Amino acid sequence: MCAKRTVPLCSLRPAFCTAILKKIRPVRAPIAAAGRGRIVFSSNGTPIRATGTRVVAQDNPWVSWASGIAAGLFATLFPSDCRLCGAPLINISRLPVCEDCLAAIRPITGGLCSICGERLVSPLVFATESCSTETAEALCGLCSRLEPPYVKATAYGSYDSGLRELIHLLKYNQVRPAANVLGRMLAEAIEDLQPLFSGSEVLVVPVPLHVRKLRQRGFNQSDLIARAALKLKAATGGFQLSAGLLERRRETKSQIGLSRHQRRENIRGAFVVVKPDEVNGREILVVDDVFTTGTTVSECARILRRAGASKVYVATVARTLKTEAQHAMRESEIEARSAMAAAG
């Protein structure tokens, strides 16, 4: 143990030194963890690609050796547990989430509505009238009766378990490096939409927060995620971030527990197109962290279309997917959407 007399730093900063010593993990922890897999370095907090593919370790044995030593030292000096599963972390990363938890986050699979991305339950599949039988696209009951104001909404993963927790880490625990991983997932979701784009530059508009909430949180998570995704798209181009295009002028209550009608009333008039000149005739991609009921992105799409946008698309990192039981409640949603459309 270092004492004041033997280590000069401790005589200056005894409290700091004591804190560091207390943080040192017992020797067994990093050794036990080191045997679980290869040590991977990440400079941006994303040791794993969104697809779950593991980052390939350096081929150079000296680099791998040095990396291993550094990672072991890091884990000893700054012990931390995965914020999702509690396992000790062995990687140098700004994101306190283990590889296994990140790899467990998978894209949505299975039959989805071709417009809103909702999970399809077989009896509710409809074909679009304009399509031939071979190319007919499946629609959910809601979209088959009344099309949303956006062309298509796509999401990377289901809003549950690990992905939900990762989003919460960013939004409620201020773990900003999570935005890099979520941005990669968003970039993958955007790829689904790209065949639909006309070829001209698409304006990317993150769903804005009210200024009061922005001050309270310190950042808009949708904005951070959109920026991270567009960095990955920078090589191919075709996107322009326009974070100030929409403004949230009115604070809205939490949508949790509200009926479809109440959600619509809650969100209506909350957003304003600040720069209508930039919207006219443009294709716009609205970006958000989560698509829950679609009320928020639909309202954004509605006012953007009203301001002259030629087409509006939606991409989110996650989406809530309904169970069969919840599908049974769709009738009330259809009524509410009809009312929303009638009101213009």
**Alpha-carbon gap, residue 112 to 126, rounded angstroms:** 12
* Region of 87-95, 168-176, 179-187, 273-281 interacting with Zn ion (CB under 5 A): 87-95
Nearer to Zn ion, 84 or 285 (CB): 84
Tokens of 161: 């378990």
Task: Please select the residue that binds Zn ion; options are 82, 127, 151, 258, rule is CB under 5 A.
Answer: 82
Answer yes or no whether residue 85 interacts with Zn ion by CB under 5 A.
yes
Q: Residue 8: is it exposed, middle or buried by C-beta count within 10 angstroms (0-12/13-18/19+)?
A: exposed
Nearer to Zn ion, 87 or 125 (CB): 87
| Whole-Å CA distances, 75 to 39, 69, 71, 103, 175 | 11, 10, 6, 21, 19
Q: Write down the least CB distance from residue 154 to Zn ion, Å.
A: 12
Q: Write down the least CB distance from residue 148 to Zn ion, Å.
A: 7
Q: Write down the least CB distance from residue 263 to Zn ion, Å.
A: 16
Helix (H) or strand (E) holding 177, with range, is none
Nearer to Zn ion, 113 or 245 (CB): 113
Nearer to Zn ion, 140 or 209 (CB): 140
**Alpha-carbon gap, residue 296 to 208, rounded angstroms:** 10
Show contacts with Zn ion in window 94-153 (CB under 5 A): 98, 101, 113, 115-116, 118, 140, 143
Q: Write down the least CB distance from residue 98 to Zn ion, Å.
A: 3
**Helix/strand/coil for 142:** helix
Answer yes or no whether residue 185 interacts with Zn ion by CB under 5 A.
no
Nearer to Zn ion, 116 or 179 (CB): 116
Nearer to Zn ion, 66 or 85 (CB): 85
- Alpha helices of the chain — where are they, by DSSP H? 8-12, 14-23, 28-34, 61-77, 99-103, 141-145, 161-173, 178-193, 211-217, 221-233, 260-267, 276-279, 295-306, 324-327, 330-342
Q: Give the DSSP letter of residue 88.
A: B
Answer yes or no whether residue 274 interacts with Zn ion by CB under 5 A.
no
Nearer to Zn ion, 148 or 183 (CB): 148
Q: Write down the least CB distance from residue 27 to Zn ion, Å.
A: 22
Q: Write down the least CB distance from residue 7 to Zn ion, Å.
A: 35
Are the C-beta atoms of residues 9 and 27 closer than 8 Å to each other? no
Task: Please select the residue that binds Zn ion; options are 75, 84, 95, 203, rule is CB under 5 A.
Answer: 84
Q: Are strands 138-139 and 126-127 parallel, antiparallel or unpaired?
A: antiparallel
Interface positions with Zn ion (CB under 5 A): 82, 84-85, 87, 98, 101, 113, 115-116, 118, 140, 143
